Amino acid sequence: MTVTYRHEIVTSSKVGTGFGKLLWRWNGSIYRLLLADFIAYSCLYAFVSIIYRLALSLEQQIQFAKLVVYCESFSGKIPLGFVLGFYCSIVAGRWWMQYQAIPWPDTLCMHVTTNLKGDDDEARMMRRNIARYANLAINIAFVKMSPQAKDRFDTLDKFVEEVFLLHDRKKFMSYGHIPHDDQKKICSNPSEDHMLLAIWNSLTIGSKSRAEGKISTDLGCKAILCELTSLRSTCGGMLSFAWINVPLVYTQVVTIAVYSFFLTTLIGRQYIGKGIDLYVPIMTLLQFLFYMGWLKTAETLLNPFGDDDDDFEILYLIDRNHEMGYVIVDKMHTGHPELSQDIHWDSVLPPSNKVAIKEVEDLDGRKDEYIPLQEPVNDDSIGVISLDHVNMAAQGVRKRRHSNQTKDDQN
């Protein structure tokens, strides 16, 4: 489920509000991601510290101090900031591209309800079937991307239960009359072949509706067919993210670099009697919070179709697309807004509220003179000033400025 907080950051000027509140959020926070790792790291650090302080002899402590110096020098040679920064940049860009690749049926349904005319049952069935098969193709693509969708639609029978697929068409999609020589049997689990069949069904319905005159123009038919092929391309583009991942070797390098760095700090950041002696390594724990939090953020964004707090809400999208598709092609097809005159029917431009216009800015960018009102305004009423009044006032201000400047030049 996506964690939203935009409504809480309307301002950054007040202390303790806005961004300050975000630090105390739990769902989707870095605290929730790092809690187990942070506790494990702290316990291991405390264990090593206790061994050094209580269990080692003086000679052993001297040898341990040499090991501390070596580990500290080694940890400084790992370019952790560079490796993590470049990796997170790739993952974050890929995360946003995956969101942009999500297919939506809205544009297709709008073309269908606009161009496929008719209030009879056959025309209505055509519109609804095109929308249903389009959503079926989208949901099959979601099954290949998201474990949530896969749990919901693990077989074609689940699509039949939720009326994305009719029972008589299930046999066609399971054994499929596909132009293969052997007409091989397709498995009952949703696959890319089923997605193509769903798009093909919509294409045939669109072509049939044009042949029967339900679509009056070739341009209207072309718009529907182009949107269907575009939907197939969008679904294929989204599936390509499941096929081509961030190179595994790069993910392994980053993970090994981060964990090896903090394994060396378990020894390298121990206090061995030089300078201040602290039992709690505050700066090291903060470094763990930053670097490990950076890695966990990248791991969360790596697959936004998963089950993390900030992953995409695929189940919501499935229900939303199903409902919105039928609303557009069915309910909206016969529901037209009534034509009526608006309140500005007799005026060229709508009035401007007096609060919206406070100052006039001259060519130099100065804002030192307010627009004088031509008529006194009662503060107890909702005063509305027309744009003609504002323009007249602005001209008066410019004339007075020009007059004052002329007097100054004469003096």
| DSSP string for residues in 303-318 | -TTSSSTTS--HHHHH
> Looking at residue 352, what is its pLDDT?
61
Q: What is the pTM of this model?
A: 0.74
Q: Predicted confidence band at 406 (pLDDT cuts at 50, 70, 90)?
A: low
- Residue 186 scores a pLDDT above 70: no
For the segment 371-388, the average pLDDT, to the nearest whole number, is: 48
Q: What is the pLDDT of residue 18?
A: 63
Mean pLDDT score, 239-252: 90
Nearest Cα neighbor of 209 from 121, 117, 76 is: 117
The predicted structure's pLDDT at residue 319 = 92
Whole-number pLDDT of residue 102: 93
Give pLDDT tens digits for 36-57.
999 999 999 999 988 888 888 8
If residue 353 lies in a helix (H) or strand (E), which one and from where to where?
strand 352-353
| Amino acid (one-letter) located at 307 | D
* Residue that has been written with the tokens 């926070």 in this structure: 29
Interval 337-377: pLDDT, tens? 788 887 777 776 655 655 555 544 444 444 445 445 444 44
Residue 147, phi then psi, degrees to nearest 5: -65, -25
Could you tell me the CA-to-CA distances from 9 to 19, 294, 325 in Å, in that order? 6, 22, 34
Q: Spell out the residues 6+ positions from residue 3 whose beta carbon is closer than 8 angstroms to its own.
A: 25, 27, 28, 309, 310
The pLDDT assigned to 76 comes to 76
Find the range with the poorest average confidence among 275-289, 293-307, 377-391: 377-391
State the pLDDT at residue 363: 43
User: Each residue of 75-85: pLDDT tens digit?
Assistant: 777 888 888 98
